[in-house]
Amino acid sequence: MKVIVLGAGVVGVTAAWYLAKEGHEVTVIDRQPAAAMETSFANAGQISPGFSSPWAEPALPLKVLRWMAGPHAPIVVRPRLDFAMMRWLEQLLANCNAHDYDVNKSRMLRIATYSRDCLDALRRDTGITYDDEQRGLIQLFRTQKQVDAAARDMKLLDLAGIAHEFLSPDDIARHEPGLMENRHLFQGGLRLPGDESGDCHMFTARLAQKAEEELGVTFHYETNIEALDASASDILGVRTSMGRMTADAYVVSMGSYSPLLLRPLGIRLPVYPTKGYSLTLPVTDPARAPVSTVNDATHKVSITRLGERIRIGGTAELTGYNLRLSRDRRELLELSFSELFGRGGDLSQGAYWTGLRPSTPDGTPVIGPAGRFANLWLNTGHGTLGWTMACGSGRVLADRMSNKRTEIPCLDLSIDRYATA
């Protein structure tokens, strides 16, 4: 088939790669001058299937109320008259129960673990590098309550067959020597040895180049996607700033902007932007810097080593499509890093960035056909885990579009799960 992929972030580019590997003629369209220039540009840098969990957990409503009273809340809702946000929050709260949490987390673990395996195979096949490390991830618990809550997640990790181990503060310091001086802050930690890290922008840019040079994928950058033309049952073309383009099939991978494109077609995609932030700074003292990735469970901040740089990422802000950089969000990132690694990196040289994560209320991405349009496919809604789930999502999508049997169950990842919501 001739396939047009809308969006050149990590999710769109990996989908294009796997579609081209299946022999399809693939064109990718994006408004930016190069691949991975928006949400994929400076994310947290972690590929973390073991850390895949929905925000919609039973304790979330009380946590949000408690955070509202403090200056450094990990999740912030900026009040606004926005029906889409209110509807999304309503659906999020509906998922805040033990049953839905277990179902959603199991789905996320399935696609995320598969995606890591696909990435490993891609790395072996292509030799691609991206400041990548395969050294695992440690989630840091500062309170006994956090340790107790982790016990439920560890049971789900057992069921999913994901390797993990609980660490004492001294164990944590052995894996991450930069935390030695501050190990008294922790009650313990959860280590996920199968998790990885790497620069998502570097990976996506290099994979796009390989896709173009080795597989013949065509990229149209600096091209605005304006609308989809449709009949009652098919997409007829995509209107762009470079003119109308047509194909046999169309894939929507436009992140948080996907629902805006689909709404005129009557498709209600439950994806809303959750704004995230990051700081990227140089390593100043390797002995005090992270070796791999740590997640601060208290501040919901991740700290990742990317070569000679450190990426500090986190926080979630519901404020529509606003891309202004908030001072209080930077303060939270700096606070977590200062408490954990202090002199390991120079915060004064930190490059501050924000991006809009395309999040679903249940945390699970939307991968599959789009309702009544036979040739329209969705690959979006990955939230904070786009980098983690990208390769697996692209492979699943390519297999389904090629009428091949998928290697993992994936029917429950489609938009159909929201039909009765």
Does some domain include residue 59?
yes
Q: What is the pLDDT of residue 149?
A: 86
Q: Which of 292, 299, 277, 376 is nearest to 44 (CA)?
A: 277
Q: What is the pLDDT of residue 69?
A: 66
Per-residue confidence at 51, pLDDT binned at 50, 70, 90?
Answer: confident
Q: What is the pLDDT of residue 287?
A: 95
Does some domain include residue 178?
no
For the chain, report the end-to-end CA distance as a whole number of angstroms.
33
Q: Which of 1, 4, 400 is nearest to 223 (CA)?
A: 4
Q: Identify the helix (H) or strand (E) that includes residue 220.
A: strand 218-220
Is 420's pLDDT higher than 60? no
Whether 304 contacts 46, CB under 8 Å: yes
Does some domain include residue 169?
no
Does some domain include residue 109?
yes
pLDDT, mean of residues 198-224: 98
Name the average pLDDT for the chain: 94
pLDDT, mean of residues 1-10: 98
Q: Identify the helix (H) or strand (E) that includes residue 317.
A: strand 309-318
Q: What is the pLDDT of residue 202?
A: 98
Is 71's pLDDT higher than 80? no
Distance CA 233, CA 264 (A): 14
Phi then psi dihedrals of residue 324, to 5 deg:
-70, 145
CB count in 10 Å sphere of residue 84:
16
Does some domain include residue 411?
yes
DSSP conformational letter for 41: S
Does some domain include residue 21?
yes
Distance CA 311, CA 289 (A): 11
pLDDT, mean of residues 183-202: 95
Among 133-147, 152-166, 250-264, 290-304, where is mean pLDDT lowest?
Answer: 152-166
Does some domain include residue 162?
no
| Total number of domains in the chain | 1
Whether 197 contacts 45, CB under 8 Å: yes
- Tell me the percentage of the chain whose pLDDT exceeds 90: 86
Q: What is the pLDDT of residue 182?
A: 93
Per-residue confidence at 404, pLDDT binned at 50, 70, 90?
Answer: very high
- CATH code, domain carrying 322: 3.50.50.60
Domain limits at 104? 2-136+194-418
- Report the residue count for the chain: 421
